[in-house]
Amino acid sequence: MIRTVPQTISLSAPPSRTNHVRSPSDGVAARAVARLAAAFAASAALVVAAGAGDAAGATSATFTATVPVAVTSITVSPQSGTFAHCTGGSSTAPALGFPNGTCTMSSVTVSTSGGPASVDASASNAVAGDGGAGWTLCVPGGTTGTASCANTSTALAASGVGKLPGANQFALTDSVASATGYIQSTSACLPGLSGGKTSCAALTTSPVSLTLYGPQSATDGSSQFTFTLTFTAVPAS
Amino acid sequence: MNLTHRISACVFAIALILLSASAAYASIGAAIQAEPVQLTHAVAAGHTYRLSDAYAKNPGSQAARFQIRIQKLSPGSGRDVPASWIHPGREDLVLAPHKAAYVALTLKVPAGAPSGSYLSDVVAVAGPLRQIHGTALAAAAATKLTFDVGGPGFAIPGWVTRTLLALGVVALLAMGIKRGPIRVRLEHAQRR
């Protein structure tokens, strides 16, 4: 005698970080749900087949799906560095001197992935290692949110390079693809990518050379100053 | 120094070299969903809305501390979104290499907010876990944030608008079938 055992197969998709979507009606969530549904449908036959073969009474199966999310990504290597190769003023090779010594860091690599993206850069003010008076980031002429470099030396001003940093100020430049420009406090297109005020070319991977222009003089005698340089990937529209 | 001590010293030296090499090539990274964070229906001043969660990922080789910020970086027209309007569910989070997380975003439109289209960016900023002496390099990735604020007194929910639109389309189709050039003739074949 052959007896047919009715089987009820339920499929459950436990919430997880890979498929948990809170707002199905908007943007990414809607696409993620659509992808999840497609993956669910494609896998359902396999799960049903597996369940049908289990005549012992298994009535549920766990379904887990990983939904890939398209991202705009950036990596910066290394994650920290030290300016060296210092020249000018009273500088020695590993240490910045006054007035207006310069140091370089040339081993930074910036890479983006996931779609065409331009890269903005910005820097913070420098904090003295002993908690004393820090240095303010400046650019020649100043911009919105960034101070104007204020070296009072007329000789430097007449040299055609623009005013260098004044007391307790410092400036940063980056070079990408042989183009050089000043880094500001607010995020702005890397000079090598800038095509004017409104356009910023996409970057895939590139070495970035950095040059630090030290202050004319410093109030604080700390031997170490720290600041953060941020590279931001902005998707091309 | 006996042989055991020499071997131990060699192993220690090699470990130091490997550690310094890995530190030199360590990378910090940030990733955020490419899909813009947007609301497909207009919002009303004085109301609060739940945006889709922001997906952030750490593509770097080191664990990093992530913060979600609102900042206009993308080119395009549209009013700036004040950072105070967007409230991330978490102030910051630590992500191990190649790990990701969703961060809830809430939009609070203040009363009296000017109507119009708004454009800004949701930015995932990855910084070092510990304070670094020297120059700390940080990575950040941005995705667009867009929504429209309706005019004064605007408070029609999006689903009402969509339902009314759908009803309108159905009504137009019905009128088209009835009056338009396309006529459907139904004939009943009688059985004998």
Q: Concatenated DSSP letters for A69-106? A: --EEEEEEESSEE--EEEESTT-BTTB--TTT-EEEEE
B21 CB within 8 Å of a chain A CB:
no
pLDDT at position B32 is 98
pLDDT at position B53 is 95
Q: Which residues of B touch A74 (CB under 8 A)?
A: 29-31, 59, 139-141
- Confidence grade of residue B37 (pLDDT, cut at 50, 70, 90): very high
- Comparing alpha-carbon positions, the chain A residue that sits nearest to B49 is A23
Among A74, A190, A223, which would you mutate to test the B interface (most chain B Cβ atoms within 10 Å of its Cβ)? A74
Strand ranges (E), A114-223: 117-123, 127-128, 136-139, 147-148, 169-176, 179-182, 188-189, 205-213
Chain center to CA of A64:
32
Which helix H or strand E contains B179, and what residues bound it?
helix B158-179
Closest CA to A30 of B141, B144, B36: B36
Whether A27 sits inside 8 A of B37 (CB atoms) is yes
pLDDT at position A44 is 41
CB atoms within 10 A of CB A201: 16
Q: What distance in Å separates residue A82's CA from the closest CA in chain B?
A: 5
C-alpha atoms less than 13 angstroms from C-alpha of A47 in its C-beta half-sphere: 20
- Confidence grade of residue A23 (pLDDT, cut at 50, 70, 90): very low
The mean pLDDT of A29-43, rounded to a whole number, is 49
Q: Which residues of A touch B100 (CB under 8 A)?
A: 17, 69
B38 against B157, higher pLDDT:
B38
Question: Backbone dihedral region of A19: left (phi > 0), alpha (psi from -120 to 50 degrees) or beta?
Answer: alpha
Whether B62 sits inside 8 A of A29 (CB atoms) is no
For residue A213, pLDDT over 90 is answered with yes
Which of B53, B55, B140 is facing A232, going by the closest CB pair?
A: B140
Whether A232 sits inside 8 A of B23 (CB atoms) is no
pLDDT at position A159 is 65
For residue B128, pLDDT over 80 is answered with yes
Please check whether residue A160 is in contact with residue A154, taking contact to mean a CB–CB distance below 8 angstroms: no
Q: Which amino acid is at B8?
A: S
State the first-to-last Cα distance of chain A, in angstroms, to the nearest integer: 69
> Facing residues of B93 across strands?
B66
Please check whether residue B40 is in contact with residue B162, taking contact to mean a CB–CB distance below 8 angstroms: no
Q: Which residues of B touch A113 (CB under 8 A)?
A: 59
C-alpha atoms less than 13 angstroms from C-alpha of A23 in its C-beta half-sphere: 20
A115-161 pLDDT, tens digit per residue, is 899 999 999 999 999 999 999 999 998 888 899 999 877 776 666 66
pLDDT at position B164 is 83
pLDDT at position B105 is 97
Whether A230 sits inside 8 A of B33 (CB atoms) is no
The mean pLDDT of B43-69, rounded to a whole number, is 96
Q: What residue spans of chain A are helical by DSSP H?
A: 27-52, 154-158
CB atoms within 10 A of CB A217: 16
Q: Which residues of B touch A199 (CB under 8 A)?
A: 75
A152-176 pLDDT, tens digit per residue, is 777 766 666 678 999 999 999 998 8
C-alpha atoms less than 13 angstroms from C-alpha of A122 in its C-beta half-sphere: 17
Q: DSSP label at B178?
A: H
Among B135, B146, B160, which would you mutate to test the A interface (most chain A Cβ atoms within 10 Å of its Cβ)? B135
For residue A90, pLDDT over 50 is answered with yes
Whether B135 sits inside 8 A of A28 (CB atoms) is no
Show which of residues 122-181 on chain B sit within 8 Å of chain A, judged by CB atoms. Answer: 123, 125, 127-128, 131-144, 158
For residue B170, pLDDT over 90 is answered with no
Q: Which amino acid is at B186?
A: L
Q: Which two tokens stand for residue A195?
A: 């095509």
- Confidence grade of residue A10 (pLDDT, cut at 50, 70, 90): very low
- Confidence grade of residue B186 (pLDDT, cut at 50, 70, 90): low
Q: DSSP label at B43?
A: B
pLDDT at position B9 is 53
Residue partners of B6: CB distance under 8 A and separation at least 6: none
pLDDT at position B55 is 97
Please check whether residue A29 is in contact with residue A23, taking contact to mean a CB–CB distance below 8 angstroms: yes
C-alpha atoms less than 13 angstroms from C-alpha of A63 in its C-beta half-sphere: 23
Please check whether residue A28 is in contact with residue B113, taking contact to mean a CB–CB distance below 8 angstroms: no
The mean pLDDT of B67-78, rounded to a whole number, is 93
The dihedral built from the CA positions of residue A85, B28, A181 and A148, taken in this order, carries a sign that is negative
Q: Which residues of A touch B38 (CB under 8 A)?
A: 26-27
For residue A202, pLDDT over 60 is answered with yes
Q: How many helices (H) and strands (E) would you count in chain A? A: 2, 15
Share of chain B above pLDDT 90, in %: 58
Q: Which two tokens stand for residue A101?
A: 């010594």
Contacts by A34-38 with C-beta closer than 8 Å and gap 24+? A35/A67, A35/A68, A36/A65, A36/A67
The mean pLDDT of B166-187, rounded to a whole number, is 71
Whether A22 sits inside 8 A of B137 (CB atoms) is no
Show which of residues 79-98 on chain B sit within 8 Å of chain A, judged by CB atoms. Answer: none
Average pLDDT for chain B? 83
